[in-house]
Amino acid sequence: MTNLETFRTETRAWLEANCPKEMRSSSNSEQDFCWGGRKWVFTCPAQKQWLEVMAAKGWTVPDWPVAYGGGGLSSEETKILKQEMFKLGCRSPLNSFGIWMLGPALLKFGTEEQKKHYLPQIARGEIRWCQGYSEPGAGSDLVSLQTFGADMGDHWLVNGQKVWTSYADQADWIFCLVRTDKNDKYRGISFLLFDMETKGVTTKPIKLISGSSPFCETFFDDVKVPKHQIVGELNRGWDVAKYLLGHEREMISGGGLGDGLASLGAAHEGVLAQEPILRAQMAMFDIESMTFRAHSEKFLDEWKSGKAHPAYSNLMKYIGTELNKKRHELIMAVGGSDALEWESEASNQGSKPRSWLRTKANSIEGGTSEVMLNVVAKRILEMPGA
């Protein structure tokens, strides 16, 4: 047996022994995921247990170095772990912007002290992070952000406003883009980390068309941020932000995968037998969905081996989010009038229409589809012009 085969056998045995039964069913809503942090209330003892055993093994972040709370696995081993978790139906033990976004940026740009301090907290789900990027006047044109950090010697004094801050009201810390030089648009931004309990930070949830409030407006009023809480060099936060956005786009593009490998049409055989045009649309969707899975598999292989174009995640973000929107349009179409129910026991409190509306943000957040296409045209296709 090769080392990888041994690893697979051992991993499967360990997962079978350690993953609680309650954590092996597919998740129905965002509440089923564990997000961790100081304010987190575990939905059941199994959720807590699952997080703790996985964190102890470093498998909440299997490919991070052991020294920073990771599992130290190779990319091949990480893939095997994910495959075995998928086969057993194991849920992800921890969902986290710290894992998906800040962690990779700290691994690349952080000082050794920052890595040792922040990364293990992320790996164990102790600190929940939010992202302070967009502002009322800086959406797609993010580099126009105005939130300003005045240099006060040993600290910055931050004033301004962020918007679309995901789960800011539930997060413990924020990674935040702050202008530290008003004279240079790109090279005047710094990447700061600070505690959301710092004096002067307030948040206000934004109610969306889906009825839920995953995003907040976040206000900074004379917030003191110590100088050592900067990632990367002063005024070079844009480099960190760009790197991190690549990871965010990679993550959001995964949304098009829906719940794994199943055919969307297969779940609605009865309705489709009576609806030939809808059946045809469903078949065309299944083709797109299979295509995206094959495309993602190929992209991830190339990404990990360094062969992918650095801007390629923008393309995957565009395709994945548009696909996910199409998926939810079809779920609504096949659901008919039942899928219109907003408040009722039978419809799980309107999970279908709420999810459908939520997906409309997929192609806006993390860079709009239009911006993604601009980036692909300019950086990958090398089309002329500014």
Identify which of residues 17 and 381 has a Cβ nearer to other proteins in the complex.
381
Q: Is 273 in the site for other proteins (CB under 8 A)?
A: yes
Q: Which two tokens stand for residue 290?
A: 């299979």
Q: Is 259 in the site for other proteins (CB under 8 A)?
A: no
Q: Is 284 in the site for other proteins (CB under 8 A)?
A: yes
Angle subtended by helix axes 276-304 and 312-335, to nearest 10: 160
Identify which of residues 279 and 360 has a Cβ nearer to other proteins in the complex.
279
Choose the stretch contacting other proteins; rule: CB under 8 A; options: 64-72, 94-102, 262-270, 347-355: 262-270
Q: What is the C-alpha to C-alpha distance for residues 359 and 323, in angstroms, rounded to an integer?
A: 10
Beta strands 155-166 and 201-206, pairing class: unpaired
Whether 279 contacts 268, CB under 8 Å:
no
- Write out the DSSP string of 224-270: EEEGGGEESSTTBHHHHHHHHHHHHHHHHHGGGG-STT--TGGGGHH
Q: Is 374 in the site for other proteins (CB under 8 A)?
A: yes
Residues 317-356: x where in contact with other proteins by CB under 8 A, - otherwise, as a string: -xx-------------------------------------
Identify which of residues 13 and 284 has a Cβ nearer to other proteins in the complex.
284
Identify which of residues 41 and 277 has a Cβ nearer to other proteins in the complex.
277
Among 55, 73, 101, 282, binds other proteins (CB under 8 A): 282
Rounded (5°) CA angle 193-198-201: 90
Identify which of residues 161 and 321 has a Cβ nearer to other proteins in the complex.
321
Beta strands 148-151 and 129-132, pairing class: unpaired
Among 169, 217, 288, 341, binds other proteins (CB under 8 A): 288
Among 153, 260, 306, 385, binds other proteins (CB under 8 A): 385
Q: Is 67 in the site for other proteins (CB under 8 A)?
A: no
The count of residues interacting with other proteins (CB under 8 A) is 44
Q: Which two tokens stand for residue 315?
A: 């393309």
Among 206, 279, 333, 335, binds other proteins (CB under 8 A): 279
Q: Is 384 in the site for other proteins (CB under 8 A)?
A: yes
Residue with tokens 């069913």: 25
Site for other proteins in 293-322 (CB under 8 A): 294-295, 297-299, 301-302, 305, 307, 315, 318-319
Q: Which two tokens stand for residue 62?
A: 């299997």
Which residue, among 74, 176, 162, 171, has the nearest Cα to 122 in the 3D structure? 171
Among 266, 325, 327, 355, binds other proteins (CB under 8 A): 266
> Looking at the DSSP assignment, which residues form a beta bridge with residue 191?
177, 231
Which residue, among 223, 180, 216, has the nearest Cα to 200 in the 3D structure? 223
Which residue, among 47, 135, 134, 126, has the nearest Cα to 92 in the 3D structure? 47
Which residue, among 32, 27, 90, has the nearest Cα to 62 in the 3D structure? 90
Q: Is 366 in the site for other proteins (CB under 8 A)?
A: no
Binding site for other proteins (CB under 8 A): 263, 265-266, 268-269, 272-273, 279-280, 282-284, 286-288, 290-292, 294-295, 297-299, 301-302, 305, 307, 315, 318-319, 370, 372-374, 376-378, 380-386
